[in-house]
Amino acid sequence: MSNKTAKTNAVRILDSHKIPYELREYEVDEEHIDALHVADSLGVNPEGIFKTLVLKGNVEPIIIAVIPANTHLDMKKFAKISGNKNCEMLPLKDLLNVTGYIRGGCSPIGMKKQFPTYIEELAILQDQICISAGKRGLQIILNAEDLGILINAKFEDITQFDL
């Protein structure tokens, strides 16, 4: 991490819990802030970059999904696993107010509240995964199980792969 990089809330939380991690910076391209672009920028396989999705359920008002960049959330599976009949993406205009984060910089660590969180179970098969550090241009590499324990997440089969 360079000296000019300010610690984000997510990084401070990891430090306070003494969870090992590595920070990786990348050049932000405002036109391409998706997880696949981040993977390309960092030279990391897309299955190692996990994006944080914020959804609304009909039972649970806010639910979080953390999934690999090369997959899509399976909305039917996710609704059922999260105890909802259906769910939909939180409108982008509400993201900052609900989570404290903006699109392209939404971390599952350090949201305004601890929401029910589900991580794609494939994360467990990897030594480490890469998630947003809470701002565009900065990623955290850490052990998926450490992340799950920290944010009280459940590991579930919630994705479908791109064809």
Q: In three state form, how does the secondary structure of 65-88 look?
A: EEEECCEEECHHHHHHHCCCCCEE
Cβ–Cβ < 8 Å for 126, 48: yes
Q: Is residue 114 part of a domain?
A: yes
Number of domains in the chain: 1
Q: Is residue 91 part of a domain?
A: yes
Q: Is residue 12 part of a domain?
A: no
What's the rounded mean pLDDT across residues 111-125? Answer: 96
Within 54-143, residue ranges assigned H as helices are: 75-81, 92-99
Q: Is residue 3 part of a domain?
A: no
Q: Is residue 80 part of a domain?
A: yes
Collapsing DSSP to helix, strand or coil, 7 comes out as: coil
| pLDDT > 70 in the chain, percent | 93
Q: Taking the model in full, what pTM does it have?
A: 0.91
Q: Is residue 54 part of a domain?
A: yes
- Distance between CA 132 and CA 140 in Å, rounded? 6
Cβ–Cβ < 8 Å for 66, 117: yes
Cβ–Cβ < 8 Å for 115, 55: no
Angstrom distances, CA of residue 152 to CA of 117, 119, 149: 7, 10, 5
Q: Is residue 72 part of a domain?
A: yes
Q: Output phi, psi for 52, to 5 deg.
A: -105, 120
pLDDT tens-place string over residues 128-162:
999 999 998 899 999 999 999 999 999 999 998 75
Q: What CATH number should be reported for the domain holding residue 90?
A: 3.90.960.10
Mean pLDDT of the chain, nearest integer: 91
Domain range for 34? 21-160
Q: Is residue 6 part of a domain?
A: no
- Distance between CA 115 and CA 96 in Å, rounded? 14
pLDDT tens-place string over residues 14-33:
999 999 999 999 888 777 66
Tokens of 66: 């953390």
Nearest to 26 by CA among 47, 11, 42, 10: 42
Place of tokens 């802030």: 33
